[in-house]
Structure formats: structure tokens, C-alpha cells
Amino acid sequence: MNLDYFFSGIDTECYRYMGCHKKDDGIEFYLWAPHARKVEVFMSRDDFQVYYPFEKVDDRGIWHLIIPNCECIYSYRYRIWKDDHHFIEKADPYAFYSEKRPANASVMYDLSQYHFTDKAYMDHRHFSYQEPMNIYELHVNGFMHSAPMTTYQELKEQLIPYVKKMGYTHIELMPINEHPFDGSWGYQATGFMSATSRYGTPWDLMDLINECHLNDIGVILDVAYVHFATDGFGLGRFDGQACYEYEDERLSRSQWGSYQFNLGSGPVISYLMSAANLFLNEYHFDGLRMDAVSNIIFYDGNKNIGVNESGLSFVKRFNYSLKQQHPDVVIIAEDSTDYPNVTVPTEYQGLGFDYKWDLGWMNDTLKYYAMDPEYRQYHHNMLTFSMAYFYSEKFILPLSHDEVVHSKGTIVDKMWGDYETKFAQCRNLFLYMYTHPGKKLNFLGNDLAMFREFDEQKELDWFLLQYPMHDSFNRYFRDLCQIYLKYKAFSCYDYDPLSFKWIDADNNKESIYVYTRYDEDYCFLVVLNMKPISYHNYPIGVPFTGTYTELINSEKDIYSGCNMCNFKPLRTKRVKAHGLPQSISIDIAPYAGIVFITKNKAKAAPVKEPHTRKRVRTAG
């Protein structure tokens, strides 16, 4: 324990001594309450209740208590006296477990007694931009359950087989920090070190992660370190005055009505970094996705108000410190700003995230697919613009929970047209997504083509798989994921400009897009038709002579399409098209998304550059 580290904001392990811990045959407490007159702990179990007074051991506001011969079995609250006559009761910010809402006391818990069996996975775990990443984002209670609230045990039994079957590499849990209101989905928390008791114990959560690892599935935790809930038992005005939030009222409240963390405070920085480190160390999470990074970069997320320099300092320190300790985990920014170098290492003046959500791609793409095809010719660049800036950051393509709530409509429902037309375009959309450079993230229900928006109180509409259109869509989605995993062209060189090339980016009249993806062995030709018009013997310029075989077609009958496909391999002809000396003639169904495969005849070995993970080679 080094309190100077704690107050300097460089402590990533204060969870090991702050709060309540088993010590020999007793219990030890440390608490930071700089404005308190005195502090007591109120412990209870069944009909037993008792108070113990703390001793102030540091003028900066550290209080300490040892209770000998005490078992780790009690619920407890801190009674913090503002003066000789007035006190407030607070939950422990450093508690590992809490009572199930609406109760709100902290609960003593010994995390060390769980024994992981995932050593082989952890020893092999590594971070690389060249690995496929296909993330399944979910709310714990939104997947499948047989009771009003699911459990981690149920999730372990039901989720893992589905994720493996579909071809996802990771799951991303929406926040599981303790939070009072179900409808906040965990984004307004009260306990940042406490895994919510809604779904089970901390050991149950560890068991879920352990089982994921035994099945080679990574687990990412969504964290909200910008703000916290205003409930009276929480962090707000913790000892009667501002401790975790800004003192200035103009800065202390967020646009969501919650308190904003004071990211210029040493103890607050140590608290948040330690909360993250706790879940990486003790729970074996494989990564973190940080919510609302725009509110860290700019005050209230508003570029016009100005850069939050303390926020920038915090996030750089956060990412640098955690990556030093866990170089094999991934840290992702959900950032809607155009602030530069978000995914550049901190040692090169960046913010130090590994990936950033491409929210520009998401917005442009969904607006385009919602548009009447007659008018798409006037907005053709909405699907080409992403490649103009793509290599400025390490992007993930997200179709997340944010896009299927608050009356926005689900992904399939956003598509233009009638029922069958929506499905045809949605199949096209996901082929575009899975062949576009960048890692992938989809929210639960996207792969079922659900029409009902997400509701945290309900499980997925699994009954939809009884209907051919939804069942075939789920099969199509699974086939796309399997292709993504099988061929490294779609993941290994995401951030190498030489692995992607436009063949036709300007055909706005017909609303057809053509591009290629490469690896050392194969070239993949992608064709997207955005209109309800079919074409026969349509000429496509190709980079290599040889045979092109249709790998997947979104209009195949097994996917409930019209079955206008290219069933036979296509030989190139010495006919110029798209500025290339050879071409193939293909059939294109309305709204079809098609991928062809051929041998790459311009092979070159990738250059080994561990930091940038880029390669240099000649593309066709």
C-alpha cells in the first residue's frame, strides 16, 4: 500500500487495500473521506447489528479500522458524520459485491477463493491487429432466460454454444457494475468494483468467463467511467461534499443528469484505474470498451466548449498503465468525435486505445440503406466515404445496442421497402459489413433479423427461427461469420491499405459498388447492387486472369433469395472493363451482395512489424 501513489493518481491496485478485506482472522477497512468529521461502519446479518468507529490515519482523509476475530459474512454501510449531529450512510465504493436492488448495502466478499482453470487460454492470449475479431454485444438479461431475471449460470449454458456455432470470437457484456435502475443498462452505476448481484455472485461471473475461455471465446467488459448515478447511497457528495465529482456545479452534472467524475483528482483516477484493473486481474476479462469517450475528450462531449485537458491526461494514463500490465488485452473507445490519434500509442502522443468504434461508418451506412433506392444515386459517396478516412485510426465497425432502441427501429426494420425487400437489403448490408476492412461488432438480435427493439426485461425472440425468412437469415449470417474467420484477407490486413482496392466506386447511376480484398493466397471480388434491378452478363474488371468462383451470394435460395446466382466458375476474358485488361461477366440479382474468390497471382510475404502490424507488398 502506497498512499502517495493513491493520491497522485497512479495507483492501479488500490482495490487490494481500500474497502473491506479479510485479514488473518479479522476484517480490515480503509476508506477515503477527506471532509468527514468521523466515520463508522454499520454491519448487519440476520438480526445482528453492530457499529465500529474508524481511526483517521492520514490528514488527506484516509480512515482505517481492523475488526479482529470477525468473519467475512456481513452486509455493511459506512456512516459518515458531516458534523457532530448529522451523518449520511453510504455504500462502499470499493465493495466487490452488493445487496440485490432495491437494497443497497455492500456485502463482504472474498474474490480469491475462486479457482480458474483457464491457464492454457491465458498463457496463449495475445493482442494482434491481424487476428479476426467478431464481437457479439449483449445485455446479460437480454439473451435467453426462463425466469424474470437470468443468471450467469444460465448464460454460460445457453450463450457459449450459440456464440461458437455462429462464429463470434468475443462477447461484449454491457456494464455489469452495480447499478440501481434496470433501465440504465448499467451505464449509471453506483459500485464500480462490484459485479451486480442481479445475475449471481462474483464467483458465478468468474465461472462464466472461465467457461468462455475454455471454449476459446474472449470476453470484453463495457465500462462507463465518465459519470455515475446520483442515488444517495452512492458516490455523489460522498462525505457531504464533492469527492468523486467536480466541485464546480457547472461541470459536476452530465447531460444524462448523472454526476461526472472529476478526472483531475488523483484519488478518483486511482479509483477508476483500479476498478478496471480489478476486472482484468481478478475476473480475467480480455478487454474493456470505454463508453462516451467524447465526454472525456471534450467537456460534455461538446467540441465548442473545449478540450478537457484533465480528461485527456486521465485517458492517456489509464491506457498506458493498463497496457503496461496487460499487453495482451484490448481497450476500445466508443468515441463519436473527430479528435485525432485516438488509437495511436501514448508514447507517440496518442490517446492509447487499441480500437475505436467507427460511428461515422455506422451512421452513413444505416442512412443509406434506409433511403429509397431511386435517390441513392445522389448519395453514392455515403458508402465510399469511410475508406477515405479508414486508415487514420484502427476502427471497429459497430451495429450496437444504440441502434436498436429508443424507437430507432432494429437493423432489419431500418431497411427501405416492404418485408421481403428489407430482408434482401439487410443481407446485402451484412455482406458489405463483413467484407469492409475493420473488426466487427453486432448486438444480440441482429443475427435473427429481429423487428422488436431491445428490451432489457425480455429475452430474444427465439421463436422467429420457426419462420423460414428469419431462419435462413440466421444461417446466412452464420455463413458470413464463417467466411470471415476462414479467410484472413478479411481480418489479417484490415489496416494495410494494400489489402483493399476499389474496382468501381463511382457507378452512382446503377448504384453498384465493386472492390477487392487480398491476402497472400487469394483475391476476393465483392459486388454490391443497391437497386431493385437485375443484370445479366454484367462486365466486371478484375485484377488477375483466371477463374472466379462465387463464394457467397445473398440472393441464394437457401437464404430466401431469388436464386439468381453464378453457379459455375467464371473464366476471365481479354475484354477491358473498369480500366483493367481482363474481365468476367456476371449475373447480378436485385439487391444482391456477392463475393467471388480467385487465386492471388501477386503473392508477397507480409513484413513483420510488431508495433504497426502493417505489411508491404504489391497488390494486383
**What span, in angstroms and rounded, lies between the C-alpha atoms of 93 and 115?**
25
**The last residue of a domain, from among 62, 78, 111:** 111
Ranges of H-type helices in 291-410: 294-297, 309-325, 359-369, 386-389
Q: Helix/strand/coil (H, E, C) string of 111-129? A: HHHCCCCCHHHHHHCCCCC
Q: Does residue 614 surpass a pLDDT of 50?
A: no
In a domain, 579, yes or no: yes
In a domain, 43, yes or no: yes
Other Cβ atoms closer than 10 A to 374: 11
Q: Does residue 377 surpass a pLDDT of 80?
A: yes
In a domain, 564, yes or no: yes
* CATH number of the domain bearing residue 566: 2.60.40.1180
13, 92, 172, 291: which one is catalytic? Answer: 291
Strands 330-333 and 287-290: parallel
The predicted pLDDT at position 264 comes to 94
**What span, in angstroms and rounded, lies between the C-alpha atoms of 476 and 372?**
24
Total of domains in the chain: 2
Provide the domain limits for residue 54. Answer: 3-111
Burial letters 29-63, b for 16+ CB under 10 A, else e: bbbbbbebbbbbbbbeeeeeeeebebebeeeebbb
Does residue 334 have an active-site annotation? Answer: yes
Q: Does residue 112 surpass a pLDDT of 50?
A: yes
Does residue 291 have an active-site annotation? Answer: yes
In a domain, 212, yes or no: no
The predicted pLDDT at position 452 comes to 96
41-55, 283-297, 380-394: least confidently modelled range:
41-55
Give tens-digit pLDDT for 349-366.
Answer: 999 999 999 999 999 999
The predicted pLDDT at position 502 comes to 98
The predicted pLDDT at position 603 comes to 63
In a domain, 503, yes or no: yes
The whole-angstrom distance between residue 170's C-alpha and the CA centroid of its chain comes to 10
Mean pLDDT of 84-103: 95
Mean pLDDT of 445-450: 98
147-151, 339-343, 515-519: least confidently modelled range:
147-151
Give tens-digit pLDDT for 242-259.
Answer: 999 999 888 888 888 899
334, 364, 447, 519: which one is catalytic? Answer: 334
In a domain, 36, yes or no: yes
Please name the residue that has the C-alpha cell 463495457: 222
* CATH number of the domain bearing residue 59: 2.60.40.10
Give tens-digit pLDDT for 317-326.
Answer: 999 999 999 9
In a domain, 578, yes or no: yes
Q: Which residue has the higher pLDDT, 384 or 256?
A: 384
In the numeric block, which cell numbers belong to residue 356? Answer: 475505436
Q: Does residue 604 surpass a pLDDT of 80?
A: no
In a domain, 45, yes or no: yes
Give tens-digit pLDDT for 396-422.
Answer: 999 999 999 999 999 999 999 999 999
Mean pLDDT of 278-286: 98
CB 37 within 8 A of CB 2: no
Please name the residue that has the C-alpha cell 476486472: 279
In the numeric block, which cell numbers belong to residue 278? Answer: 480489478
Q: What is the mean pLDDT of the chain?
A: 94
Q: Does residue 557 surpass a pLDDT of 50?
A: yes
The predicted pLDDT at position 608 comes to 41
CB 290 within 8 A of CB 275: no
The predicted pLDDT at position 414 comes to 97
